[in-house]
Amino acid sequence: MICPIVIATVRGHGLAVLLESIKQYAPECPVYLRGPESVIERFDADYKLFGQPRNFGEDYNEVIEAALKDWSSCIVANDDIVLTPTSVKVLMEDVAIVRTMNSYKAGWVAARSDAARSGQNVRICQPGERLSFYKFPSEAHIKLVQEVSPIFAWISSDAFEEAKFPPLNWYSDDVHCMDLIQKGYGHYVSASYVHHIGSNTIGMNAKQLHEDAMPWLKENRPEYAKAWFD
């Protein structure tokens, strides 16, 4: 099943590697790319290119909506991941399975990675210990989760019409996942895997990113702010 891949980037530090992995492992997937001209002008003109970055939520809304004008679903990708030969294949196989389930409407179906959320991670590191890499027993299976980080994740036009990302850098994915849950959608982690390089896509100042998001959350989703931060 062919599915477009959409990407939004601010600095694009890992973008060249991601695009090369798409070229090698998913050449059938059209790419919709949003970012600063200084980044995107270096890449293949066949990509569908968009303009200057604003924030994570608005940038992804624009590029996802553009892709969904042409397709019934898309895969959202961070600029700091690398696909494997089976990333798209396994993800789309699991999407097909999720869409046959009856408990919830299909929300996000996300790949596992080295470091995203605990429910998606394929590695664990205890404080003070060296990284230990191993597979969780659940990694061969699809699982229902409360929320995902869409570093490589499928979404349908039906779901995206129900809710858009808020105009935030941090917590935009949390809000989007919860908004869809409120509308009867379920989110899933696939057996698919992508390597997460770890770029500074939206900046590295966690305290500032948190503080920037709080006024919007308190005004627009006070119930989420209370539940998450009390």
Q: Read out DSSP for 171-188?
A: SHHHHHHHHHHHTTEEEE
Taking the C-alpha atoms of residue 85 and residue 22, their distance in angstroms, rounded to an integer, is: 9
The rounded distance, in Å, linking the Cα atoms of 112 and 150 is 10
Cα 197 from Cα 226, distance rounded (Å): 33
Let me know the angle formed at the C-alpha of 39 by 169 and 172, rounded to the nearest 5 degrees.
Answer: 15
Identify the H or E element spanning 159: helix 157-162
Q: Are 115 and 106 in contact (CB under 8 A)?
A: no
User: How confident is the prediction along the chain (230 residues), in pLDDT tens digits per residue?
Assistant: 789 999 988 777 788 889 999 999 999 999 998 887 777 777 765 677 777 777 888 889 999 999 999 999 999 999 889 999 999 999 999 999 999 987 889 999 999 998 778 788 886 555 555 555 556 666 778 999 999 999 999 999 999 999 999 998 889 999 999 999 999 999 999 999 999 877 666 666 788 888 889 999 999 999 999 998 87
- Domain 5-202 sits in CATH 3.40.220.10: no
Alpha helices in 15-144 (DSSP H): 15-25, 37-40, 56-70, 87-98
What CA–CA distance (Å, rounded) separates 11 from 199? 9
Q: What CA–CA distance (Å, rounded) separates 84 from 91? A: 11
From the number of C-beta atoms within 10 Å of its C-beta (0-12, 13-18, 19+), residue 109 rates as buried
